[in-house]
Structure 1
Amino acid sequence: MGVWGEPVLDVHEFERHVTFLAREYQPVHLSELVAGLEGQTRLPRRAVALTFDDGYRNNLYLVAPILARHGIPATIFITTGLIGTDGWMWGYELEEIFSRHPPEQVCHASGDLAIIRMGSLGLSPRVLTSACVEYLKDLPHASMLDIVERLRARFPVPVNDENRFLSWDEVRELASQGFELGAHTRSHPILTRLPLAEVDRELRASRDMLEKKLGVRPRLFSYPNGATSPEVTALVSRYFQAAVTTRSGLCTRESGLLKLPRIGAPVPVSELAFELVWRLTP
């Protein structure tokens, strides 16, 4: 269960997903899928690529053993500036803060008038947290960071095991197990909320750090929060061969290698099966 008691994709349900995919589909690395879309290789029928964003430690200790049992490859996109740190993804950090402290007190401490007004509406903590996070995502990156840092200072929360990031040794261990590693920026900003010069620095820094730590230059990228624009995509094309979004859909040659869609993992495997069958039905 999640912080608010909502159902989440735990290891048992994830193994059901993996069992289903291994039985009904042909899992491949994302790079193989990209090569197939480029016409460089012939893809197997019902090819599917598994991807994981961010670089959480549970990718090694929970996900990897399940995939190994079923012989399924996967690609993990690494947020290089969070590897080896006790940092949080700020959205999950705020969720933890709101779950531990009176919501109106948290909203007032933000110093932001819109958040303070939201805190006075009597919303449930779960709804209020979601509204605040979505509001913050729409702000310029620097403004969002100012508010988040203010709340971090007022309500410090140690990172928990579920949200802890890999170390670089653990990233290398995943690579040795056959995981494909791609870039996910240095600090996980929403790129459409950054000046383009800063977008360029984020892309270059994440690519270069992965190459330095692993000895291989990454060719794949995942947009934080799935957000891009023509200008951002053009910058991504300078550093990477292909990139994935969070737009829901199947990858085809018409998708464009720099804006590949993905299907999110719903909690019950029955919903995943329905989503894939529905997408594949002419």
Structure 2
Amino acid sequence: MLKIRENFIHSINKLAGNIPTKTLTNITGQKVIFPFYHCISDEAPIHIKHLYQVKTVKQFEADLEFLLKNYKPLDYADLDYYIQNKKTITKPSFLLTFDDGLREFHDIIAPILYRKGIPAICFLNSEFIDNKALFYRYKTSLLIEYTLLSKPNIDAGKYANYLIRREFKKLIKHLQLINYENKDILTNLANTANYNFTKYLRENKPYLTSKQILSLKEQGFRFGSHSIDHPEYRFISYEEQLNQTIKSTNRICNDFGIKYKYFSFPFTDYGVSKQFFDEVYNQNKVDISFGCAGIKADSAVKNIQRISLEMNNLSAKQIINSELIYYIFRAIFGKNKIKRT
């Protein structure tokens, strides 16, 4: 489903960019949107470079200019009221969120948002705070870069054979296919190639530190959990879904003196059951959760769907307008609500 939406956006974005956002907002009635990013940087960090395209500061500023022109920043109190259906949001509004708890949120993003008076929520993987460990997909990007630059002659099964035969494209394809379940392959390959992930963490510090998080909290930014170590939920057991959610949320709340309980799903919330949402909400393990299915309602009423603004070089206007048009098309077939079973 994600690919269908992405393909639609890529095919219609030029047309969508020429339509007034206000017109599409009025047609759809979708006045509140939740855009999200991971990283903003003029030079993509190596651990992200081979995964997706990072927006520059100039592109980010242009996105913010568009958002502020067409929407009002949603404050945290309004978010709480909105999710509890205690308050109707009458003016077009937006709330920014940022996943993965990356250092750029402190160094680049927060100063821009603070200057413009824009609130935001940053979601943290509890195991990665203070650069204690590294997301397995970031390891993939690092190894791809290392392979392209160094072309090491290592002896590690079929991966070594690709290297010996100089079939680097095949090796890179295999690296990109490694998932959470077999992520240990990345560590084993790095060890064989004498590549040190711990050294990269120590020298580059890709994640926020506890000190930075507390400082940002004092500035008015909010934080939530993004699981322990970033698995894709549809591929782990129900018990592990609960473990990843509850443990990471509790740790972040306890470590940083946070009373609210926000959670965003790593990768996607696709396939997550009604039972899961009932359990975490009814037992007050999570107050509000966030997916990434675009502009769409959810039968789990406290689960908010967000819009990724990281789609190649597309602007916020192109992406958001395309999402609104996609919403109109899906409305014809009654497909604008996620039904949990």
What is the TM-score when the length of structure 1 is the normalising length? Answer: 0.79
Measured against aligned partners, the alpha-carbon deviations of 1:189-217 in whole angstroms (never above 9, x if no partner) come to 22333233333222221121122112223
Are 2:127 and 2:228, in contact at CA under 8 Å, matched by a contact in 1?
Answer: yes
Take 1:257 and 1:163, find their aligned partners in 2: how far apart are those partners? 37
Take 1:131 and 1:227, find their aligned partners in 2: how far apart are those partners? 25
Corresponding position: 1:132 with 2:172 = no
- CA RMSD in angstroms comes to 3.4
| Number of the residue aligned with 2:242 | 200
Amino acid at match of 2:295: L
Corresponding position: 1:50 with 2:96 = yes
Take 2:51 and 2:287, find their aligned partners in 1: how far apart are those partners? 40
Cα gap change, 1:257 to 1:168, in 2 (>3 Å) = farther
Cα gap change, 1:105 to 1:60, in 2 (>3 Å) = same
Residues 177-186 or 190-199, more deviating: 190-199
Corresponding position: 1:147 with 2:185 = yes
Q: 2:315 aligns with which of 271, 275, 282?
A: 271
What is the TM-score when the length of structure 2 is the normalising length? Answer: 0.67
Higher relative contact order (CA 8 A, sep 6+): 2
The gaps in structure 2 that reach 5 residues or longer are 1-42, 329-341
Are 1:210 and 1:217, in contact at CA under 8 Å, matched by a contact in 2?
Answer: no
Q: What is the count of residue pairs matched by the alignment?
A: 270
Amino acid at match of 1:174: L
| Number of the residue aligned with 2:118 | 72
1:272 CA displacement: 1.7
| Number of the residue aligned with 2:196 | 156
Q: 1:213 aligns with which of 255, 258, 264?
A: 255
Q: 2:142 aligns with which of 78, 88, 96?
A: 96
Cα gap change, 1:132 to 1:18, in 2 (>3 Å) = same
The structure 1 segments of at least 4 consecutive aligned residues displaced by more than 6 Å after TM superposition are: 103-108, 115-121, 160-163
Amino acid at match of 2:260: P
1:41 match: secondary structure: coil
| Number of the residue aligned with 1:63 | 109
Measured against aligned partners, the alpha-carbon deviations of 1:54-98 in whole angstroms (never above 9, x if no partner) come to 111110110001101211111111111111125322212211112
The gaps in structure 1 that reach 5 residues or longer are none
| Number of the residue aligned with 1:250 | 295
Q: 1:262 aligns with which of 295, 299, 306?
A: 306
Q: 2:78 aligns with which of 28, 32, 53?
A: 32
2:134 match: secondary structure: coil
Take 1:185 and 1:5, find their aligned partners in 2: how far apart are those partners? 20
Take 1:84 and 1:251, find their aligned partners in 2: how far apart are those partners? 35
Measured against aligned partners, the alpha-carbon deviations of 1:4-27 in whole angstroms (never above 9, x if no partner) come to 698531222112211221222112
Amino acid at match of 1:207: T
Provide the identity percentage: 20
Amino acid at match of 1:183: S
Greater radius of gyration (CA): 2
1:87 match: secondary structure: coil
